[in-house]
A and B are shown apart, each in its own frame.
Chain A
């Protein structure tokens, strides 16, 4: 849960930095809102892809390391 909440905070920071450029108004503009929605979706999908790549590659790496230590 802690990791998830940290990711949530990081997402907020990142998307805010990229999508909110003008501070002329107190409310979010339509463009900013759609940018934020896309940002959230992209980050989540990127995270999923990263995770599956990691899960795919890590076991082989760990096995190799174990073999090197054993030898």
Chain B
């Protein structure tokens, strides 16, 4: 079970990495293929993009946990309500 969890985590990290790459490429690298080198602006943009994406990922995780805990509370209260009624 621990091994499965570890494998799943790796898979999800890879999935997140792919999505991040796609998103940052769209935001920072315009589809102009005159030059093969990245400009300084594009490089800086990519650095910032990665930093922001990872922060968003963390924030989403916390928010999801918070929301699912709220739902659990609500369900418990509903069950208690129907139990006593």
Contact = CB atoms under 8 A, between A and B. Distances in A.
> Which 4 pairs from chain A and chain B are nearest by CB?
A40-B63, A13-B19, A5-B12, A23-B48
Interface of B: 8, 11-12, 15-16, 19-20, 22-23, 26-28, 45, 47-49, 51-53, 55-57, 59-61, 63-64, 67
A16 B23 contact: yes
Contact of A20 (B52, B63, B67): B52
Contacts of B53: 12, 16, 20
The interface size bin for chain A is 20 to 34
A36 B12 CA distance: 21
Given A9-B19, A12-B16, A12-B57, A23 B64 contact: no
